[in-house]
Amino acid sequence: MIRVENLTKYYGTRLAVDNISFRVEKGEIVGFLGPNAAGKTTTMRIITGFLAPTRGNVWVAGHNISSQSLDARRHIGYLPEAVPLYTDMTVRSYLDFLARIRGLDNDKIKTRIDEVVDTCHLEEYIDVIVGKLSKGFRQRVGVAQAIIHEPDVLILDEPTIGIDPIQVSMTRQLIKELGKEHTILLSTHILPEVSVICERVIIIHEGKIVAEDSIKNLSSMISGTKRIRLEVEGPSKKIAERLRKISGITKVSYQDSQYTVECSAGQDPRAKIMEAIVQSGWSLLSMESVEMSLEDIFLRLTSEEESEQ
């Protein structure tokens, strides 16, 4: 549905997006993850046709965004980072205007407005001036305008930024709901959000893609090294030394009676650990295997990138 090839964007001499390529297939919800100023918004603006690329190509629903721009744009629903609202219009007239400029047929407009208002739970606010709505509701109006013309592709730039936690979870629910009928590319710098909503994640850092995979694969790929957390009673130094001798364990760190053990890929030395500790006469209070969180993956990827440079 979305195909990005060798996309590069310079702002003057500053490189914002550096030769990235990726695809989003029909029906996918893909998270576009990266720290602030990584190039997420720039990439999305190019996909939607708001900015022109310096080099490279983008296809949306088979249409090139540069040479067949209008055709491509017809298939896109876009929610920019700062929700763009005409603050002096009512929700109804705002949606009506956007439906019209997106080329929706006259006779369909009314029913579509009712439908999106229903989807986004805005029934009570339909005749309220947009400028008087709270941030969370503005966000929902923003989502409503993005889906009013039933686009195949939704581009959502930081859709949950700046709204309260309850509304964040409502918005996430809404996005998951929309994902059943739309192909969605959403950007965020909030990690848990990606694992909640998305099936696949593209991690971008300083204008480059540093990882791209399903969330599950990404965890196991990077983790490779598994982590085990222990709580042991006994002399810390001796325990750490003993743990290091166990085969398959690559790294041991500790603080008080808490130990974190990293082991090489495919190894599960938990039984050996238990044996060693019990034989030495210490007591094992707890032991758990820890999945590397998206946060760990993210930090590792972006810091590796930095150390290469």
Partner 1 sequence: MAIAAKEFKSYLFSPMAYIVTTFFLAVTGLFFAISPSTYNETSISGFLSTWWALLLLASVLTMRLLAEERKLGTIELLLTAPVRDSEVILGKFLGSLGILTVMLALTLYYPLLLWVFGDPDGGPIGTSYLGLFLLGCTALAVGIFASSLTSNQIVAAVVSGGILFALWFLGTAAQFVPEALGNVIGFFSLSQYFPDFIRGIIDTRSIVYYLSVTALFLFLAIRTLDNSRWS
Of the ranges 27-35, 42-50, 115-123, 230-238, which one interacts with partner 1 (CB under 8 A)?
42-50
Residue type, 78: Y
Q: How far apart are CA 232 and CA 279, in angstroms?
A: 13
> Which of 88, 181, 241, 288 lies at the binding interface for partner 1 (CB under 8 A)?
88
Shortest CB 156 distance to partner 1, Å: 13
> Which of 27, 61, 64, 102 lies at the binding interface for partner 1 (CB under 8 A)?
102
Shortest CB 18 distance to partner 1, Å: 18
By CB under 8 A, residue 101 contacts partner 1: yes
Measure the CA angle with vertex 43, ends 308 and 143; round to 5°.
130
Handedness of CA 193, 198, 200, 203 (dihedral sign): negative
Which helix (H) or strand (E) segment holds residue 24: the answer is strand 14-24
> Which of 21, 25, 37, 87 lies at the binding interface for partner 1 (CB under 8 A)?
87
* Residue 267: closest CA among 250, 248, 252: 248
- 302-307, long-range: CB within 8 Å, 24+ apart, which pairs? 302/35, 302/203, 302/205, 302/210, 304/210, 305/205, 305/206, 305/208, 305/210
By CB under 8 A, residue 287 contacts partner 1: no
By CB under 8 A, residue 61 contacts partner 1: no
> Which of 50, 152, 246, 300 lies at the binding interface for partner 1 (CB under 8 A)?
50
Shortest CB 57 distance to partner 1, Å: 15
Shortest CB 182 distance to partner 1, Å: 16
In the block, residue with structure tokens 């971008």: 204
Burial class (CB in 10 A: 0-12, 13-18, 19+), 238: exposed
- Which CB sits closer to partner 1, 76 or 294? 76
Q: Binding-site residue total for partner 1 (CB under 8 A)?
A: 30
By CB under 8 A, residue 84 contacts partner 1: yes
Q: How far apart are CA 8 and CA 19, in angstroms?
A: 5
By CB under 8 A, residue 295 contacts partner 1: no
By CB under 8 A, residue 76 contacts partner 1: yes
> Which of 5, 71, 114, 213 lies at the binding interface for partner 1 (CB under 8 A)?
71
Which helix (H) or strand (E) segment holds residue 140: the answer is helix 135-147
By CB under 8 A, residue 166 contacts partner 1: no
Cα dihedral 228, 231, 237, 243 in deg (nearest 10): -40
By CB under 8 A, residue 13 contacts partner 1: no
Write down the H helix ranges in 179-290: 191-197, 215-223, 236-245, 270-279
Contact set for partner 1, span 254-283 (CB under 8 A)? none
Positions that interact with partner 1 (CB under 8 A): 11, 45, 48-52, 70-71, 73-74, 76, 78, 80, 82-89, 93, 97-98, 100-103, 145
